[in-house]
């Protein structure tokens, strides 16, 4: 560990993945900005980061949207970082480059090519070292993992749970698309990028019917079928919201909700970060890495299923190949348990 570095005017941070990945990194980004308030913090991310963070209060001053790069922003082989991009970033003469984008096999060589005065981040045994580094071990909460890296350069955490500002533009978008949300609104988000992380859709409907509140069901365009299944299964009317809002507009919607019930996915992180109470449905391994760190306003329900419900393949052996089945690993979580936590949180409002 070192203290705060002298003469840091520019900081590059590599974190170029999805919504939830950004949100869990916010405490570390905030800690870096607090430790270096006069430095320009540049996030090396994607085009969606640039659109979402433009004009949004927070620790990120600028986003450089990276193109498809193998191991960083693309799984396709043969996509090296363009020399023009690397040259342009080297020309920024970063004083500090921070890698919070995995174990480093692909990301550390990229970060080292930036030519920063000091580099810091993670390292698996097969990755190149950085100037300051920590071992990357899979089972660690992501927020705490990133804060450990920030601490390598003297940055201390202000808070553990991420916080994200909702802007006037976000609220205006919500009003234009959906109008004035009703009081006591509950949002359900039945999707997740990995089908195994999805609680059965009809159970979301059962919970919502028990709560007796106005309901919206949110989802991406790819999740339209799931949203429709939840709405159709409900005895009470619900409003589907499928790809109708930007991420900022979705943040504004969740801000107006009394509760969000969601699988372990980016929207749950987004809802919590704008201050809304959440009930999250988690597989046990994902809870370790991405669950809420506090319980006053956030209640995770946990499935302890350790093997594939179809073939028995291990879900906890990091050396095992993923099996071909997409059955839910969350089906062991009962409706009663979810409804109980939802009712308790709603009763606090």
Q: What is the CATH number of the domain that holds 63?
A: 3.40.50.2000
Q: Are strands 239-242 and 215-219 parallel, antiparallel or unpaired?
A: parallel
51 in any annotated domain: yes
- The predicted model scores a pTM of 0.96
Q: 349 pLDDT exceeds 80?
A: no
Average pLDDT over residues 232-251: 97
Structural contact between residues 274 and 187, judged by C-beta atoms closer than 8 angstroms: no
Of the residues 127, 152, 177, the one at which a domain ends: 152
Q: Which residues contact 156 (CB under 8 A, 6 or more apart)?
A: 31, 34, 35, 150
What is the C-alpha to C-alpha distance for residues 25 and 44, in angstroms, rounded to an integer?
Answer: 13
Residues 294 and 207 in one domain: yes
177 and 256 part of one domain: yes
Q: Is the separation of the CB atoms in 204 and 190 below 8 Å?
A: yes
Q: Which domain holds residue 107?
A: 10-152
pLDDT in tens, 294-335: 999 999 999 999 999 999 999 999 999 999 999 999 999 999
Band (pLDDT 50/70/90 cuts) for residue 175 is: very high
Which pLDDT value is given to residue 2? 76
Give Dmax (Cα) for the chain.
62
34 and 106 co-located in one domain? yes
Q: Which of 152, 176, 204 is where one domain is finished?
A: 152
3-state class (DSSP) for residue 115: coil
Residues 272 and 328 in one domain: yes
- Whether residue 195 is contained in a domain is answered as yes
Residue 333 counted as domain residue: yes
Determine how β-strand 132-135 pairs with β-strand 239-242: unpaired
| pLDDT bucket at 1, cuts 50 / 70 / 90 | low
Query: What is the number of structural domains in the chain?
Result: 2
Q: Is residue 326 in some structural domain?
A: yes
pLDDT at residue 165 tops 80: yes
Residue partners of 201: CB distance under 8 A and separation at least 6? 190, 226, 229, 230, 233
130-155 pLDDT, tens digit each? 999 999 999 999 999 999 999 999 99
Which of 39-43, 71-75, 94-98, 133-137 is the least confident region? 71-75
In this structure, the answer to whether residues 175 and 233 fall within a common structural domain is yes
The answer to whether residue 35 sits within a structural domain is yes
pLDDT digits (tens, 9 = 90+) for 97-135: 999 999 999 999 999 999 999 999 999 999 999 999 999
Mean pLDDT score, 271-288: 98
Task: Answer yes or no: is 3 within a domain.
Answer: no
| Residue ending a domain, choose from 152, 177, 195 | 152
Dist. CA 255–CA 272, nearest whole Å: 9
| Residue 40 included in any domain | yes
């Amino acid at each position: 560990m070192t203290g705060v570095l002298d003469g840091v005017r520019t900081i590059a941070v590599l974190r170029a993945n999805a919504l939830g990945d950004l949100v869990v990194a916010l405490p570390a980004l905030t800690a870096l900005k607090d430790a270096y308030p006069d430095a320009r913090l540049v996030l090396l991310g994607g085009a969606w980061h640039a659109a979402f963070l433009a004009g949004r209060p927070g620790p990120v001053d600028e986003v450089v949207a990276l193109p498809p790069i193998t191991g960083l922003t693309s799984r396709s082989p043969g996509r090296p970082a363009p020399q023009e991009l690397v040259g342009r970033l080297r020309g920024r003469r970063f004083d500090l480059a921070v890698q919070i984008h995995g174990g480093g096999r692909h990301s550390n060589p990229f970060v080292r090519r930036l030519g920063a005065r000091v580099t810091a981040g993670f390292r698996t045994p097969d990755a190149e070292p950085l100037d300051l580094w920590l071992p990357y071990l899979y089972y660690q909460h992501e927020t705490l993992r990133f804060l450990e890296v920030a601490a390598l350069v003297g940055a201390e955490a202000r808070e553990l749970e991420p916080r994200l500002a909702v802007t006037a533009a976000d609220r205006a978008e919500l009003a234009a698309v959906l109008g004035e949300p009703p009081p006591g609104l509950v949002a359900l988000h039945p999707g997740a990028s990995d089908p195994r992380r999805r609680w059965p859709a009809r159970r979301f409907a059962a919970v919502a019917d028990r709560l007796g509140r106005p309901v919206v069901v949110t989802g991406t365009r790819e999740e339209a079928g799931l949203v429709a299944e939840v709405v159709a299964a409900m005895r009470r009317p619900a409003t589907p919201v499928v790809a109708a809002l930007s991420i900022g507009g979705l943040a504004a919607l969740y801000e107006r909700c009394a509760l969000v019930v969601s699988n372990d996915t980016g929207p749950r992180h987004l809802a919590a970060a704008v201050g809304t109470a959440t009930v999250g449905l988690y597989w046990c391994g994902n809870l370790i890495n991405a669950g809420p760190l506090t319980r006053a306003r956030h209640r995770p329900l946990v499935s302890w299923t350790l093997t594939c419900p179809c073939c028995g393949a291990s879900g906890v052996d990091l050396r095992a190949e993923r099996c071909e089945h997409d059955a839910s690993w969350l089906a062991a979580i009962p409706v009663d348990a979810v409804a109980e936590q939802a009712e308790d949180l709603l009763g606090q409002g």
